[in-house]
Chains A and B, each alone.
Chain A
């Protein structure tokens, strides 16, 4: 029971169920295999219906407030996929989302809920901006140092939460959240001081950082008229490494054990403070790196601005949750979220407030959650029927 504290409870408990191999539950499952095809169809149906309901609700919302739902959806598609060059922008937006998600998976698998990625992204971007506006060196050196700085600062910010958790029992759920609000103020403060991030020119555009050096930007390459930044590869490699490390290494095994059943993990000699603390730091570091990738390869513009993380942290977190803590699934999920994000930039032409994109996103997430929940309920019912 105490095992099911993982950030995605249902996965945790279902994996637990599989451990005792020769129990009546397993037999029941074997007996019910002939109807597997019959199980898959309702599952797909559940998801299709819940997504359709979510989209219908959004359409209803748009049309009752005087907009055209069809125009909104077509603008979303235009902005993210159909207009020239938009694939590249979407992929460059997906990269930081994926980086955030990859770290979230690490923390989630260890049974910890880091939900302050937004602040870690912001600080990571700020650290990168600080280095990238100052360091005079050749391109690759600047890039490597500034990305490392971003990851380090993001990791440090999460380290605060992990120290508070493991030495003073402050729940990481609330400490990471509160640290986000402090991070906003720190970066805003840095934007008022020239020796930190503030712009050197005395024009009226306040709350803007200095432009980062040209050679500090991530190089990209052209593909069918889309510019794709190398950040996408950084994010994908990071996700692959994390996925493999979790699945195939001893540390990964310990970490998963900690998440699935902390009591067993303790008896097996896994230190919650060491492994769990490290997991939190890793999740903060990837979020910081995401901020760096966003600043050097994703964001339109070339400077750090106030609140430039603009929900990347929250959305990356949602990506990880919807991918159900699976690294491989996080990649397409990040792309979908990035498409909604870039698509929303085309909304202004339709006269509908662009914040509808946030609503669509959250509704889709809810739809997928409801879908997963209904699937669970159905499975439980089927099991009960089989037992009777």
Chain B
């Protein structure tokens, strides 16, 4: 028991734990912000996985073509948006079931990026690390938050921006309205399908950013199939967080921590079962949802297609 407590202490007092956690959490946080907006508008966007993966690949492509990290980033965001465009148009213009479209897009994204990666083999110029003097010297969390790739810093303004857009603008109010009661929104003159499409589009932009972060800031290369279901963890984070922004970000942080555990454990010299460590984030996501999901109220019209006049 004492040894176990010592291990926990060592884990929590090590800089690398926090740095590693942020490395994984940033990806989840970018994606979770987007997914949160899409879900507030009433879409359970399971193609977020495909969006991140596509963004990761197009970011590698952009970086390979121009050698410029900014172009890579732009390509990544556009890649995510491309998938979102198909998802949004299919599910909220043509009325195709959103899970069906999302699933197909995920399969397509995995196949297409793996195929193109094998053909093109893009070389990635990773984004450099930017140390923010002063803030980076805060013990424990300083290096994790302020001595990282500059792509992670884009997350910090994005959080209040997303909050402001959803809770403090007319657009955000309408967005939440179509997620709660599309009939009421329709009656008051909101174009329900359009708002829902926009929710998915924003999700695509954020997920594309997450993908670009994965390629340019985290791994420094594109790995076919390398996402391995982490996009779904972002989805789980939103549900865990009870469809609030801070909850979703908290979920991203927790699931990121459990992903970081496997590398941190090895770095600290502990031995643990490799499969258990890999499964841990998913297990924890399920357990946390078991505990918290029933307490929160989901958007009323979540995953429910809108058909005008049919009640």
A120 adjacent to chain B (CB < 8 Å): no
Complex partner residue of B100 from A8, A164, A175, A314, CB under 8 angstroms: A8
Bound complex: CA of A181 vs CA of B277, how far in Å? 12
| Chain B minimum-CB-distance residue to A178 | B282
Chain A, 46-59, contact with B by CB distance < 8 Å: what is the 0/1 string? 00000000000000
Task: Decide if the interface of chain B is mainly helix, strand, loop or mixed.
Answer: helix
Bound complex: CA of A164 vs CA of B283, how far in Å? 13
Bound complex: CA of A372 vs CA of B96, how far in Å? 8
Say whether B108 contacts A318, CB under 8 Å.
Answer: no
Say whether B103 contacts A179, CB under 8 Å.
Answer: no
What's the least CB distance linking A353 to chain B, in Å? 5
A2 adjacent to chain B (CB < 8 Å): yes
Q: Which of A335-366 contact B (CB under 8 A)?
A: 353, 355-359, 361-363, 365-366
The residue in A8, A9, A61, A314 that gathers the most chain B C-beta atoms within 10 A of its C-beta is A9
Say whether B304 contacts A4, CB under 8 Å.
Answer: yes
Say whether A355 contacts B305, CB under 8 Å.
Answer: no
Q: Which of B283-305 contact A (CB under 8 A)?
A: 283, 285-286, 289-290, 293-294, 303-305
Query: Within 8 Å CB of B114, what residues of A?
Result: 353, 355, 358
Say whether A361 contacts B286, CB under 8 Å.
Answer: no
Known: A8-B100, A169-B293, A373-B94. A361 touches B310 (CB 8 A): no
Complex partner residue of A170 from B104, B107, B120, B289, CB under 8 angstroms: B289
Bound complex: CA of A318 vs CA of B100, how far in Å? 8
B252 adjacent to chain A (CB < 8 Å): no
Known: A178-B285, A186-B275, A355-B114. A173 touches B97 (CB 8 A): no
Say whether B103 contacts A1, CB under 8 Å.
Answer: no
Say whether B183 contacts A377, CB under 8 Å.
Answer: no
| Chain B minimum-CB-distance residue to A355 | B115
Say whether A168 contacts B115, CB under 8 Å.
Answer: no
A208 adjacent to chain B (CB < 8 Å): no
Say whether B307 contacts A171, CB under 8 Å.
Answer: no
A113 adjacent to chain B (CB < 8 Å): yes
Which of B138-146, B211-219, B229-237 participates in binding chain A? Answer: B229-237
B111 adjacent to chain A (CB < 8 Å): yes
Say whether B275 contacts A185, CB under 8 Å.
Answer: yes
Query: Within 8 Å CB of B294, what residues of A?
Result: 168-170
Say whether A174 contacts B275, CB under 8 Å.
Answer: no
Say whether B232 contacts A362, CB under 8 Å.
Answer: no
Knowing that A170-B290, A174-B236 touch, tell me 11 more A-B residue pairs with CB under 8 angstroms.
A4-B307, A164-B289, A168-B289, A174-B289, A181-B228, A189-B273, A358-B114, A358-B115, A363-B108, A365-B108, A376-B95
Please list the residues of chain B having a beta carbon within 8 angstroms of any beta carbon in chain A: 44, 46, 86, 90, 94-97, 99-101, 103-105, 107-108, 110-112, 114-116, 118-120, 183, 228-229, 232-233, 235-236, 239, 273, 275-276, 278-279, 282-283, 285-286, 289-290, 293-294, 303-305, 307, 310-311
The 8 A-B residue pairs with the shortest CB-CB distance, nearest first, are: A358-B111, A373-B94, A362-B108, A185-B279, A65-B119, A189-B275, A169-B294, A185-B275
Please list the residues of chain A having a beta carbon within 8 angstroms of any beta carbon in chain B: 1-2, 4-10, 13, 16, 61, 65-66, 113, 115, 164, 168-171, 173-175, 177-182, 184-186, 188-189, 192, 311, 314, 317-318, 321, 353, 355-359, 361-363, 365-366, 369-370, 372-374, 376-377
- Would you list 25 pairs from A and B whose C-beta atoms are within 8 A, ordered by A residue? A7-B97, A9-B95, A9-B96, A9-B97, A113-B99, A164-B290, A168-B289, A170-B239, A173-B303, A175-B289, A177-B46, A181-B229, A184-B279, A185-B276, A185-B279, A189-B275, A321-B100, A353-B119, A356-B111, A358-B111, A359-B108, A361-B107, A362-B104, A366-B104, A370-B94
